[in-house]
Structure formats: structure tokens, C-alpha cells
Amino acid sequence: MSVDFKEYGRRMEKALDHLAEEFAAVRAGRANAKVLDRITVEYYGSETPLNGVATISSPDARTLVISPWDTKLLTDIQKAIQASDLGINPQNDGRVVRLIFPQLTEERRKDLAKQVKKYAEEAKVAMRNIRRDGMDYVKKLKKNSEITEDEQKKAEKDLQDMLDKHIKKADEALAAKEKELMAI
């Protein structure tokens, strides 16, 4: 009997997906509509993501323009952005909301680099916990005599290889994000 680790692989992929979302929300001095993904506005009584009530465009590398489909939402959008952790003051001209991203200082770049390292480490810890769950499962199978000791050793090696592959992906994503942050 071979041990099936598809579920653990899926969970590790989910951790990587979450890491990618965290990285996308970190602004690197360029205008990127992804930084607005977490911002919601109240629209007809329910919290709606910003991209669900407006068109978001980027006319240049440092500007995002938010064009709501309903102009009554302009002040709500402005307030939601101000209340978020973006650190950018939106400009409302009566038709659209503009976000102008300032050039990042060296100190801010270093802070953001620390932040993305923390996100990567959290993802690695999550993946190690998933591996631990898998190891516990394998030990339980061995204890119940459902697999042999050789199968246990192979399963544990397979789990470790899966973890190593996913941690390598997390490290590559971290290196790419750090490079993006440090680019002037």
C-alpha cells in the first residue's frame, strides 16, 4: 500500500497561494491594482470589493485611477482607502478617485523587505506544520500495521521532498519580491 499525499500537497500549494496574495498586497513603489484587493465598500447594504463597484486603471507607473460605476460611491471609496493600511491619501475630483504612489525611500524599502520575509517565513511554518500532520498520519498507519516500516520510511522521505520543493518555491517568490522592492 502506498500512502496518498495529494491532500498535503494541496494544502502546501494553498500556503504558497496565500503567500502570493500577501506579496501582491505589498506595494513596491509602483501602482498595482492588487493593493486594492482587500479594500471593500458598502454597496446596497453589503461589503463589496472595490473591483466589484469600480473600474481600476493605471495610466502610468505611479498612479491608479478608480472609476466607480455609481458616482455616489466616490466618498465611500475615498474613506475606505483612507481607513486601510495603504498609507496613500486618495484624491477625489468628483468623477474618479486617484491614488498617486510616492517613490519609496530606502528605509521604507527595507521595512517592506522585512515584511515580505516575515510573510515567507509564516508560509514555511505553515508548510512544515502540514508536513508534521502528514508524518503523524504515516506513524498512525504504521502503528495500526497498515503499512510496513519500509513504506513508512519511503512515505516520510516523500513528504520531506514535497516540503523541500514547496519551500524552494517560497524562497524563489521571496527573492523575486525582494528584487522588485529594491529596484529603484
pLDDT tens, position by position, 129-182:
999 999 999 999 989 888 888 988 999 999 999 999 999 999 999 999 888 888
Grid cell, residue 69, equals 460605476
Question: Mean pLDDT of all residues in the chain?
Answer: 86
pLDDT tens, position by position, 144-157:
888 888 988 999 99
Do 122 and 130 contact (CB within 8 A), yes or no? no
Instruction: Give the pLDDT mean for 108-113.
Output: 84
Q: Is 15 exposed, middle or buried (0-12, 13-18, 19+ CB in 10 A)?
A: buried
The pairing of beta strand 91-92 with beta strand 40-43: unpaired
Dihedral over alpha carbons 87, 92, 93, 95 (to 10 degrees): 120
What domains can be seen in the chain, in order of their start residue? Answer: 6-24+105-182 (1.10.132.20), 30-100 (3.30.1360.40)
